[in-house]
A and B are shown apart, each in its own frame.
Chain A
Amino acid sequence: MLSIRDLHKSFHRAEVLRGVDLDVAKGDVVAIIGPSGAGKTTLLRCVNFLERADRGEMHFDGLHLDMHKASGKDVLAIRKRTAFVFQNYNLFNNKTALENVTEGLIIGRGMPARDAEDAARRALDKVGLSNRLDYYPSKLSGGQQQRVGIARAIAVDPDVILFDEPTSALDPELIGEVLGIMRQLAREGTTMVVVTHELAFASDVANRVVFMDEGLVVESGPPDRVLHAPAEERTRQFLRRILPAGAPLG
């Protein structure tokens, strides 16, 4: 459904992505892992055109784009069929939880206000926040804010949801509530691409794990193989560094 070919991106002179390929099929849960600076977040942001790639091709469900030259119209079309969950939530500060969800439906997609509100209520109900509809982000905990962020993403019924380290800004005790919802979405067959440091989550929930380092995909495959029997030395080193010796995954 989504495939990226030969994606390149530099900031000033630093090459952050050096020819990345990524394939996502409908219903896939792809976890992208790797050390910081590997280019994981940049990859995700390029897919949503929050960063403009220097080079690369994108096939997205019938659309075929040059990622460097894509027109404003194409970009908007892609954004309307994808959703992005940010590391620091980025809820609209001046909108309530409900409005945060309806905004993209009414303004971005031209949905009638009443339908949008119904969809938003359902989405917020799903993330367990139906009692916080009128709360402004400043009144919500980090975990609640991120759950609104997820509701904002699922409400638009996107082809794929892009998660950029959705739990790394959260206090440890709040991580569980967010991961729980993501698990639930995965069970329901939502297509997701998740940049994450939560290896246990990657191991349990993802059907494919992509390990990136220094702007390249080092290896990818089912979690059993990449996380438990990696073929590449760099993957092994990474896993050794972040896992205490002998600790089981997930």
Chain B
Amino acid sequence: MGLDLDYLARTFLLSLRGLPVTLGICASTLLVSLPLGFALAIIGIYRVRVLRKLASVYISFARGTPVVLQILVVYSVLPSLANSLAIRAGWDVDVFALNPLWYAVVVFSFNTTAVLSEIIRSAILTVDRGQYEAALSSGMTGRQAYRRIILPQALLVALPNLANATINLIKGTSLAFLMAVRDVTAIAKIEAARGYEYVESYLAVFMIYLLVCGATQALFTLVERRLGIYRAPVVAF
């Protein structure tokens, strides 16, 4: 056969134009999911009565079903739901003209919030209770203790898992084409179908994902090194 390198390069550049969409979805999703995940983690840790039950059912469902199904479910129900809401509220907006990007953010937030809440919860639980007590006896309020002592330490513990979750999120957005979002994968897919050069097209996106994930990983490693200055050096054995 032989690869059509020209075509590959062209698709690569073309698909790169979808990168802002891919990264935009990821960033918006994280922006939504981090606070929500944190709230759920706190609910879990402090065993808030009814909310805790609801949260654990939600987390189990969101983590126990394929993302592709979550996409298909949301995409088959959300537009018309939003439309009927808009009509009832008397808004003059055409919901169906809305950028599908927002549906993508809803789905991925639904999924990522559950993942992040588990990561944050277990990270907070790794911080020794004595840290909290020492903060209280220094005259801090519970909130101050969390902000200044507990969370910075928990964040560091959580970073490797957060890196994983972010990479999984980036990979997950490759399914956004199911919602007619024109991200990296969607563009390559269109190109592939048009020119019948499937292998080249998918090789192109494959390379883009490698670059993006590599950069993400590097970023997290950098942050971890930055924030981790207080840790004892790891003794090699």
Contacts and interface: CB of A to CB of B under 8 A. Distances in A.
A–B touch (CB < 8 A): the answer is yes
Interface of A: 48-50, 72, 76, 79-80, 82-84, 86, 88, 90-96, 103-104, 107-109, 136-139, 152, 156
B229 interface: yes
Contacts of A136: 229-231
Q: Which of B137, B149, B232 has the most CB of A within 10 A?
A: B137
Interface of B is mostly: helix
A79 B230 contact: no
Contact of A50 (B128, B136, B144, B152): B136
Contacts of A107: 138-140, 144, 148
17 contacts: A50-B133, A50-B136, A50-B137, A82-B137, A84-B133, A86-B130, A90-B133, A92-B149, A93-B153, A94-B149, A104-B138, A108-B139, A108-B140, A136-B231, A138-B232, A139-B232, A156-B138
Contact of B138 (A93, A94, A138, A152): A152
B99 interface: no
Contacts of B229: 136
Interface in B123-159: 128, 130-131, 133-141, 144, 148-149, 152-153, 156
B125 to A, nearest CB: 15
Given A90-B130, A94-B149, A76 B139 contact: yes
A109 B137 contact: no
Given A50-B137, A152-B138, 20 more contacts: A48-B136, A49-B136, A72-B141, A76-B141, A79-B136, A80-B139, A83-B138, A86-B130, A86-B133, A86-B134, A88-B130, A90-B128, A90-B133, A90-B134, A94-B153, A94-B156, A95-B230, A104-B138, A107-B138, A156-B138
A91 B137 contact: no
A79 B149 contact: no
Given A94-B230, A138-B232, A139-B232, A79 B134 contact: no
B137 A93 contact: no
Nearest to B155: A94
Contacts of B144: 107-108
Contacts of A82: 137
Nearest to A75: B136
A109 B144 CA distance: 12
Q: Which of A80, A107, A152 has the most CB of B within 10 A?
A: A107
A79 B136 CA distance: 7
A91 B230 contact: no
A247 B135 CA distance: 41
A103 B148 contact: yes
Contacts of A48: 136-137
Please name the 8 residue pairs, one residue from A and one from B, whose CB atoms are nearest each other, closest first.
A108-B139, A104-B138, A138-B232, A90-B134, A84-B137, A90-B130, A136-B230, A80-B139
Contacts of B230: 93-96, 136-138
A91 B128 CA distance: 11
Contacts of A91: 134
Contacts of A96: 230
Q: Which of A76, A84, A92, A138 has the most CB of B within 10 A?
A: A92
A156 B134 contact: no
Given A104-B139, A108-B140, A94 B152 contact: yes
Nearest to A77: B139
Contacts of B137: 48, 50, 79, 82-84
Nearest to A149: B134
Contacts of A72: 141
A92 B131 contact: yes
A136 B130 CA distance: 17
A100 B223 CA distance: 23
B231 to A, nearest CB: 6
